[in-house]
Amino acid sequence: MTRALLRLIGARLLLSGLSLLAVSAIVFAVMEALPGDTAQRLLGRDATVQALAVLRAQLHLEQPAWARYGDWLGGVLHGDFGTSLVARRPVLPYIAGHFGYSLLLGGLALALHIPLSVSLGLFGAATRRDGPIDAMISAVALLGMSAPEFVIGIFLVSILATTLGWFPPLALIDQAHGPLEVARTLLLPVLTLNFAMTAYVLRQTRNAMFDVLRSDYVRLAVLRGLPPRHVLLRHALPNALAPAINAIALNAGWLVGGIVVVEVVFNYPGLGRLLVESISFHDVPMVLGAALVLSATYIAINLAADVALMLLTPKLLVR
């Protein structure tokens, strides 16, 4: 089994490398297809032809696209993500700093998401199927699965920040002082991400728990006179967690893309906001670096989920 798992990991790593290469090529081609360039964005519409030519020469934008992409790719293979065309500084320190903020936000969102979604699916819906609590939670879950992240974020800001004034409307964590202020700053973006993620896992846990509670071994445990809480936690829950774990892994991958939208809505200084700002300035090295890191994170999360699934279900390794 170990050799089969290692072969699987090796094949996935090779495929991941090819995927990252394809992502970088596609992102570079899209950026080249956009109108204008960095010199035009920096100097504005009133810039003279001579000024644009001088700045383009300084930024090496007069080189062919294939040459600039080849130089960037060669640098990445040696650990150099290039130099920002706007800041004129190495890209990697910028990405590392902003990526740390994104990891913090994503980690807090998952830390709340896992117990919240499983608990709601277990106690709020599965044990009270078709009741008023079940109907209310199902309606909220359906809304969370349907509404885009930016709509959820704007709604929470309008109610909890603008109307009630409980939390700041922007997640300016780099300006927060003390743990309590940091928590207040991060709560709205964390809730926005959880509203979208929790709905799917909740439904998976609810449906799985309902099927397990109707199984013969659970009915036998009830007939033996075991306490309901013991039956629920010791007999039903372990057998209903597999679909929830799979859904949580999918949500962790979705989080890589969803966090970009949330960071923009709340002006959070993460990698997603850096990516959007770099696109607006046509900063190709910064866009490529940010896109590559986000793609690698998504691939790593999915690879870890697949490996965990193989370890939990060894028969999947048998060909």
* Per-residue pLDDT at 125: 52
Closest CA to 294 of 8, 10, 112, 27: 27
* Per-residue pLDDT at 233: 67
Backbone angles phi, psi at 290, to 5 degrees: -65, -45
* Per-residue pLDDT at 211: 73
What is the pLDDT tens value at each position of the chain, 319 positions in all? 577 777 777 888 888 889 899 999 999 999 888 887 777 777 767 777 777 777 778 777 778 888 888 888 888 888 888 888 888 888 898 898 899 899 888 888 888 888 887 777 776 555 566 667 667 777 777 776 777 778 888 888 888 888 888 888 888 787 767 778 888 888 899 988 888 777 777 777 777 777 777 777 777 766 677 776 666 666 666 666 667 777 777 777 778 878 888 888 898 888 988 998 888 888 889 999 999 998 998 888 878 777 776 766 655 555 5
* Per-residue pLDDT at 248: 76
* Per-residue pLDDT at 34: 82
Could you give the CA distance from residue 58 to residue 52 in angstroms, rounded to a whole number?
A: 10
Could you give the CA distance from residue 257 to residue 204 in angstroms, rounded to a whole number?
A: 21
* Per-residue pLDDT at 316: 53
* Per-residue pLDDT at 124: 59
* Per-residue pLDDT at 26: 93
Alpha helices in 62-128 (DSSP H): 65-77, 91-119
Number of residues assigned to the chain: 319
Closest CA to 134 of 207, 232, 81, 225: 207
Left (φ > 0), alpha (ψ -120 to 50) or beta: where does 44 sit? left
Instruction: List 83's β-bridge partners, or say none.
Output: 90
Quickly count: other Cβ atoms within 10 Å of residue 184's Cβ: 15
* Per-residue pLDDT at 33: 85
- Domains of the chain plus CATH, in order, are 1-81+284-319 (no CATH), 91-280 (1.10.3720.10)
Which tens digits make up the pLDDT trace of 172-213?
A: 787 767 778 888 888 899 988 888 777 777 777 777 777 777
* Per-residue pLDDT at 117: 78
CB half-sphere exposure, 211, CA atoms < 13 A:
11
Which tens digits make up the pLDDT trace of 108-158?
A: 888 888 888 777 777 655 556 666 766 777 777 777 677 777 888 888 888
- What Å distances lie between residue 89 and 40, 66, 85, 97, 283, CA to CA? 19, 22, 8, 14, 12
Helix or strand (DSSP H, E) at 304: helix 284-312
* Per-residue pLDDT at 25: 92
